[in-house]
Amino acid sequence: MTVTRARLSTRAVTARALYAVLFSAALPAALILWARRLDTLLRLPAYGTPIQGTPIAAAGVALVTAATWALWRFGHGLPASPFPPDRLVTRGPYRFVAHPIYVGAVAVSAGVSLAARSAAGLWIATPVLAAACAVFVVAFERGATVASFGRLPVPLLRLPGDTIAWPTLWDRVSVFVLAFGAWLVAYEAVQALGIPGDARSAYFAWDRGLPVLPWTEAIYALTYVFVAIVPLVANRQR
């Protein structure tokens, strides 16, 4: 019996070690090699410096480390499907975001891409990693969490629910961080990509002839003011 338990323990340790190597070494290495190869094949605008990228990558590593420790300390598990936590963890980074490990991993990818000035890493590998994390959460992890614990965590940063309840302060903050923050990142990304040299204009002849009136910019800017005020004055979460 003792020998059998020892063998099972050894197998468990080996499996955990292999799983850790796969996701902490093999997967990042594959992303790096893929990005480097794409950099030689594609012409995409490169941005970033080590000064800009290193703090982002370091923050991502810190977030992944803190979230992994929280899973081990409070949930008695690991961030791996074969070794899930025994308890639903809502402390540490999980108090603020539902999936801090995935957020941290995407931050590491973006930070390394900026530090290395890898255009493919920034514009292709990082978005693909983020999309893969989102698909995994929606297709598997969310259902597995409900099946194991009967409910999903409710972090402070989350999109408000489909209810008529009065929005909390964190509901309002979450809209700015998650909705407006995502829009800002996408907007700046499109601006940074610029217009390809072989792009075709969609303007008609009459469009080009329209005069530009500078004072109308104020009317356009009011759109942003209105949208920013809405989360502050909303009287229901829906």
**Is 174 found in the same domain as 149?**
no
- State the total domains in the chain: 2
pTM to 2 decimal places? 0.83
With beta carbons less than 8 A apart as the criterion, state whether 101 and 78 touch.
no
**Per-residue confidence (pLDDT) for residue 20, from 0 to 100:** 67
181 and 113 co-located in one domain:
no
> Does residue 4 lie in a domain region?
no
Residues 170 and 99 in one domain: no
pLDDT of residue 124: 95
Q: What residues make up the domain containing 235?
A: 162-238
The Cβ of residue 104 has, within 10 Å, a number of other Cβ atoms equal to 23
Which two tokens mark 66?
A: 């803190």
Q: Are residues 107 and 166 in the same domain?
A: no
180 domain-assigned: yes
Tokens of 34: 């893929």
Tokens at residue 67, please? 């979230």
User: Is residue 124 domain-shared with residue 51, that is, in the same domain?
Assistant: yes
Whether 40 and 129 share a structural domain: yes
- pLDDT, residue 205, reads 78
The DSSP secondary-structure symbol of 95 reads: G
**First-to-last C-alpha distance (Å) of the chain:** 58
Q: What is the pLDDT along the chain (238 residues), one digit of tens a residue?
A: 444 444 546 666 676 667 667 777 888 899 999 999 999 998 888 999 999 999 999 999 999 999 999 999 998 888 877 778 889 999 999 999 999 999 999 999 999 999 999 999 999 999 999 999 999 998 988 888 888 888 888 899 988 888 888 899 999 999 999 889 989 988 888 888 887 777 777 878 787 778 888 888 889 889 889 988 989 898 888 7
Alpha helices in the chain (DSSP H): 2-21, 27-41, 50-75, 100-116, 119-120, 126-136, 142-149, 169-174, 181-193, 205-208, 217-233
Q: Residue 82 in contact with residue 15, Cβ under 8 Å? A: yes
Give the alpha-carbon dihedral of 53, 54, 56, 58, to 10 degrees: 160
Q: Does 93 share its domain with 186?
A: no
